[in-house]
Chains A and B, each alone.
Chain A
Amino acid sequence: MFEIYRKELLELLRDRKTLFFVIALPILIFPLIIGFMVFLSSQATQSAEQKVHQFALVNGHYAPDFAQRLFYHKSFKQTKENDMYSTIDDLVSAVKSGKIDVGVYIPKAAHEAMQLGEQTTWSVVFNDAKAINFIYTRIEELKTRFTDELVSDALTQYGVVKEKQEAFLHPISLQKVDTADKRENLGEKLGGIIPYLLIPLILAGAIYPAIDMGAGEKERGTLETLLLTPVSRTQLVLGKFLTLLTTSVSSAIITVASLGIWVGIAVTFIQVDVIKVAFASVGAGEFVLIFMLLLPVAAILSSLVLAISIYARTFKEAQNYMGPLNFLIILPMMASIMPNMQLSSTTALIPITNVSLAIKDIIKGTVDMNLVWLIFISTAVLGGILLAACVRWFSKESVLFR
Chain B
Amino acid sequence: MIELKELQKRFKLQVKSKPNDESKDPREREGYFYSVENVSFSCNTNEVLGLLGPNGAGKTTTLRMLSTALMPDEGDITIAGQSIVKDPIFGRRSIGFLSGSTGLYGKLTAKENVSYFAKLHGYRGKALASRLEELFTLLDMHSFLDKRADTLSTGMKQKTNIARAVVHEPQIVVLDEPTTGLDIMTKQTVLQFIQQLKSAGTPVIFSTHHLDEVAMLCDRVHVIDKGFSCFDGSIADFKAHSRDGELNQAFLNLLGAKSDV
Which residues on A are within 8 Å of B, measured CB to CB? 3-4, 7, 10-11, 14-15, 220-222, 224-232, 397-398, 400-401
Contact of B121 among A4, A227, A230 (CB under 8 A): A230
Residues of B within 8 A of A (CB): 11-12, 64, 67-71, 89, 92-93, 95, 97, 99, 101-108, 112, 116-117, 119-122, 148, 164-165
Asked if A229 and B121 make an inter-chain contact with CB atoms under 8 angstroms apart, the answer reads yes
How far does the alpha carbon of A15 sit from the alpha carbon of B107 in the complex, in Å?
A: 7
* A16 to chain B: closest residue by CB: B107
> Is the CB–CB distance between B105 and A229 below 8 Å?
no
Whether B67 contacts A222 by the Cβ 8 Å rule is no
Of A15, A229, A401, which is within 8 A of B120 by CB? A229
CA–CA, A199 to B187, complex, Å?
A: 51
Residue in A closest to B93 when the chains form the complex, CB atoms:
A230
- Kindly list chain B residues whose C-beta atoms are within 8 Å of the C-beta of A230: 89, 92-93, 120-122
Q: Chain A: which residue is nearest B68 at the CB level?
A: A228
For residue B135, give the distance in angstroms from its CB to the closest CB of chain A: 16
A228–B107 touching, CB < 8 Å: no
Shortest CB distance A230–B (Å): 5
* B120 nearest CB across to chain A (Å): 4
A228 and B70 contact, CB distance less than 8 A = no
Contacting B103 at CB < 8 Å: which of A3, A10, A220, A228? A220
Q: Which residue on A lies nearest to B117, using beta carbons?
A: A229
CA distance A11 to B105 in the complex (A): 8
What's the minimum C-beta distance from A317 to chain B, rounded to whole angstroms?
15
Nearest CB of chain B from residue A7's CB, rounded to whole Å: 5
Chain A contacts for B122, CB-based, 8 A? 230
Chain A interface SS verdict (over half):
helix
Min C-beta distance of A266 to chain B, whole Å: 37
B120 and A10 contacting across the interface, CB-CB below 8 Å:
no
CA distance A231 to B102 in the complex (A): 18
Contact B67 A228 (CB under 8 A): yes
Tell me, in angstroms, the Cα distance from A231 to B101 when the chains sit together: 22
A397 neighbours in B (Cβ, 8 Å): 70-71
Which 10 A/B pairs are nearest by Cβ-Cβ distance?
A221-B103, A220-B103, A229-B120, A14-B107, A11-B107, A222-B103, A230-B92, A221-B101, A3-B119, A230-B89
Residues of A within 8 A of B104 (CB): 220, 222
Shortest A211–chain B CB gap in Å is 15
| Chain A residues whose CB sits within 8 angstroms of the CB of B102 once the complex forms | 221-222, 224-225
Chain B CB within 10 Å, residue with most, of A7, A225, A230: A225
Name 12 extra pairs, CB < 8 A, besides A7-B108, A224-B102, A228-B69.
A11-B107, A11-B108, A220-B106, A221-B99, A225-B97, A227-B69, A228-B68, A228-B95, A230-B92, A230-B121, A232-B89, A401-B69
Minimum distance in angstroms from B119 CB to a CB of chain A: 5
Inside 8 A of A400's CB, which chain B residues have their CB? 69
CB distance from B47 to the nearest CB of A (A): 22
Give the complex CA separation of A11 and B109 in angstroms.
Answer: 10
A229 near B92 (CB under 8 angstroms)?
A: yes
State the Cβ distance, A212 to closest chain B Cβ, in Å. Answer: 10
Chain A residues with Cβ below 8 Å from B95 are: 228
Q: What residue of chain B has the Cβ atom nearest to residue A4's Cβ? A: B120
Q: How far is the CB of B203 from chain A (nearest CB, A)?
A: 17
Q: Residues of B contacting A232 with CB < 8 Å?
A: 89
Cα-based distance from A134 to B225 in the complex (angstroms) = 84
A402 vs chain B, min Cβ distance (A): 10
Closest to A212 in B: B107
A10-B108 in contact (CB<8A): yes
Residues of B within 8 A of A398 (CB): 11-12
CB neighbours of A15 from chain B (8 A): 107
**Distance to closest chain A CB from B31 (angstroms):** 13
Q: What's the minimum C-beta distance from B109 to chain A, rounded to whole angstroms?
A: 10
Report B-chain residues with C-beta under 8 Å of the C-beta of A227. 69
Contact of B117 among A11, A221, A225 (CB under 8 A): A225
Q: Which residues does chain B contribute within 8 Å of A226, judged by CB atoms?
A: 120
Q: Report the separation of the CA atoms of residues A159 and B78 in the bound assembly, to the nearest whole angstrom.
A: 115
Which residues from chain B contact A220 at a C-beta distance below 8 Å?
Answer: 103-106
The smallest C-beta distance from B255 to any residue of chain A, in angstroms, reads 26
